[in-house]
A and B are shown apart, each in its own frame.
Chain A
Amino acid sequence: MSRSKAMLRTSIFTILLTLLFLLLQGAHAGEKNLLVGIEDPPKTMDPRFSTDATGMRISHHLLFSTLVQHGQDLQIIPNLAKSWKTPDNKTYIFHLHDQVRFHDGRPLTAEDVKFTFEHLKNPQTKSPFAGTYKVIKSIRVIDPYSIEFKLEKTVASFLTSIIMPIVPKHVIEAGGPFHNQLIGSGPFIFDDQSPNEIILKKNPDYFMGAPSLDRITFKIIKDDNTRFLKMRKGELDLVINAIPLNKVDDFKKSPLKKRYTVMEDAGLSYNYISFNMKKPELQDIKLRKAIAYGINVEEIIKYRLEGHAVPSYSLLSPVNWFSEKNVTRYDYQPETASRLMDEAGLPKTGSNSKQPRITLELKTSNNAEVIGIARIIQAQLAKIGIRIEIKSYEWGTFYGDIKSGNFQLTTMRWVGVTEPDFYFNIFNSGQFPPAGRNRGLYKNEQIDRLTEEGRNILDADRRKTIYAKIQKIVADDLPYISLWHTSNISIVHKRVSGYQQHPMGGYLSFRNIDINP
């Protein structure tokens, strides 16, 4: 087949493609379509299985409704449940709005709520959340719009863990692939999905009032540069925490200043360095403190994060009500660090000798930003005689090593931590891998006792004093070195109004957004 025939065939092939594409686009001209730029496609938007941030945000905040939600100040606010009460600390009764409808018109009742949680507990569903709801002993439908949960034992964080989209019983039980139906009761209805785009359309009879947007299009743009260039051309309306920190300030200067506004406030994502507490060479608290004093967090924030972060002193962000302000803080004191290492009896480095006082291995993923920061820490610690070897691995391998405690030092971050009970998961000695997330293999009787206690008390003030004590001990014992909280940054097109940035970077305020051309 001569080359010209091949060329003819490919051009016909692509022209047909163009026509198809234009047909699709034409239908939506002139309507309010919010273009949101995101980095990665959600692995799945089916709330029963979705564990990645984007997938959960779209399902929890847009497609489905949940009994309760996190308010702007992270307190629990009503959603499907108008009100709730706890007759005793193991029973919860929720009263639902009575005119909520699913996207297929069927009413949402207590039956659907009961079905949702029992469906998730059932091992056949293979949902990752089965474990979280094991603690629910029984669910009773009192009347179509009120429901009672009875728990095995007191769970202080129950109201946070109950935030789960309510799925339609009649659709799930009918079987068939739910992942491309996604019938929920949220402000937006699932319209279409392709590898590059997710399109949602307005739910006119949403129970808290129909949103003014006609359509939301999530544009999946993987490459940082391409995403920025897309905004340079004004082809995106809203980007949340998806612009490289070194490009954020471009939006405060012309030409972009004309078209976009930058919203920035303290974020929840906590960046830290974790020690492997089982390694003999890391047992001495003096060495751990020396390392903490040897890292200049301010410098990293100023130059690498361009000021878009605040130094952190605890897992909980300053925004969090439980966060304890006066704990030991480790700002940059190289002399103290050297003194501590002397006291720890580490060999001295001769003035000329290249021989470091100690060599440690820092394991990281292959994320370019993380590696960049690791190199700065490497250079800072080298100044006080601590030689850091950075070993970067592809994510799967790295994650496998970290989960199995196969590391000396590593640097990671926890995202969206609001409930202080998280301290139990990461510092209680009953939570060593592979079961739990106490990857640093940290064991401290006081912490074990306090984290156990904190879970079983409902009274907020008493919990606050417990978690204050925990944060003080952790700050002194240093299983983690706290680095910083990266800020929450949303870049919003001037034509968009009504958007409110949520500390968890969520999409709750999308239903109030309007577009004025």
Chain B
Amino acid sequence: MISYIIRRLLLLVFVLFGVVTLVFFLIHFIPGDPVDIMLGDYALPADKQELRSVMGLDRPLLIQYKDYVSGVLTGDLGTSIHSKRTVLEEILERLPASAELMVGAMTIALLIAFPFGILAALKPYGLLDSASMFASFLGVAMPNFWLGPLLIIFFSIKLDWLPINERGGLENLILPSITLGTAMAAMLSRMIRSSLLEVLGEEYIRNARAKGLAERKVILKHALRNALIPVITIIGLQIGVLLSGAIITEAIFDWPGLGSLLLEGIYNRNYPLVQGCILVIATIYVVVNLITDITYAWVDPRVRLS
């Protein structure tokens, strides 16, 4: 197991290197120039040219790439073009908010998906199954820029229980987490249902019953553990969806997360910031997937960690 983890961590470096390279050339490849966008119509071209050279933007791309990568290796992600603050500082300012929102959304998703998924599987095609199926399709088909305002109108304006926007205490976290988490909850509950239905048809479940175990134990200990296997991969995948889905949720709730910082960076062609954000998001993503693979092997002994 340990050697597997070490090998995967080495590969992680390769993956991140791949991501950084892909991002670097792609963002520079997109038309639109950061100095233009920054200075807008104010500065004279001579000044803009000067600003570009001082920032080293006029150097050949490969040199800029080499400097950037060597900078990253020493932990220097460069300075943000506009605000003159270091990229690391801007990212670290936003990281806790993103982490909090992702944990919140994930918790909501799991709290909804597991009970709904399990109950739907226990009585397939029953009333509860169709209700949970209907609710989950609603969850998937409802975009978060629609769900957000609806939740605000109901919970903040009409009932005045929760604040409208901004990050703060636990109560600020509830609405954004529901908005971001529902699509994932819908997806997960259907996945858990279908995977659990399959497992319930297996012989070892009938054997567990033959052993005289209580139905609750048969489901939770025997069936669920086997049904978890494909679900874990889905959870790993969903982290990516959460990160990108967060952009719109962050916009609606003014949640100071990485998603909106990345979007601003892209719009302003703030190269160092975009590269820094994507590097951090990629790291989170790859580490989470490493954890999913390890839990995968921990849950399913048949899978040897080659």
Contacts and interface: CB of A to CB of B under 8 A. Distances in A.
Interface in A74-119: none
Interface string B144-173: 000011001100110010001111111001
A162 B93 CA distance: 36
B202 interface: no
Given A14-B170, A44-B83, A222-B254, A396 B50 contact: no
A17 B256 CA distance: 14
B31 A396 contact: yes
A102 to B, nearest CB: 21
- Max chain A CB contacts within 10 Å: which of B45, B82, B268? B82
Interface string A26-68: 0000000000000000011010010110000000000000000
A131 B46 contact: yes
A43 B83 contact: yes
Q: Could you say which interface size class chain A belongs to?
A: 35 or more
Nearest to B40: A51
Contacts of A221: 165, 254
Interface string A368-408: 00000000000000000000000000111111110100000
A126 B54 contact: yes
B50 A128 contact: no
Contacts of A353: none
Nearest to B31: A400
B47 interface: yes
Q: Which of A11, A43, A221 has the most CB of B within 10 A?
A: A43
A295 B111 CA distance: 55
Interface in B96-113: 96-97, 100, 103-104, 107, 110
Contacts of A196: 166-167, 254, 256
B32 to A, nearest CB: 3
A403 B44 contact: no
B261 to A, nearest CB: 8
Contact of B252 (A51, A52, A225): A225
A7 interface: yes
A229 B152 contact: yes
Interface string B35-55: 011111111111100110011
B215 interface: no
Contacts of B110: 3
Contacts of A15: 170
B100 A233 contact: no
Contact of A222 (B40, B41, B260, B268): B260
B118 to A, nearest CB: 14
B94 interface: yes
B85 A229 contact: no
B84 A17 contact: no
A21 B168 contact: yes
B164 A230 contact: yes
A515 interface: no
Interface in B1-60: 30-33, 36-47, 50-51, 54-55
Nearest to A437: B41
Contacts of B173: 14
A396 B254 contact: no
Contact of B36 (A127, A130, A195, A400): A400
B251 interface: yes
B218 to A, nearest CB: 20
Contact of A395 (B42, B50, B84, B267): B267
Given A128-B39, A131-B47, A396-B30, A230 B165 contact: yes
A435 B149 contact: no
B101 to A, nearest CB: 11
A13 B100 contact: yes
A516 interface: no
Q: Nearest 6 CB-CB pairs, A to B?
A: A396-B32, A18-B169, A195-B256, A131-B44, A128-B43, A400-B31
Interface of B: 30-33, 36-47, 50-51, 54-55, 82-85, 93-94, 96-97, 100, 103-104, 107, 110, 148-149, 152-153, 156-157, 160, 164-170, 173, 251-254, 256, 260-261, 266-269
Given A21-B169, A131-B43, 18 more contacts: A15-B170, A51-B40, A123-B54, A126-B50, A126-B51, A128-B39, A130-B47, A132-B42, A134-B44, A179-B84, A195-B97, A222-B254, A226-B164, A229-B156, A394-B32, A396-B268, A399-B32, A435-B45
5 contacts: A10-B104, A14-B169, A14-B173, A134-B44, A229-B152
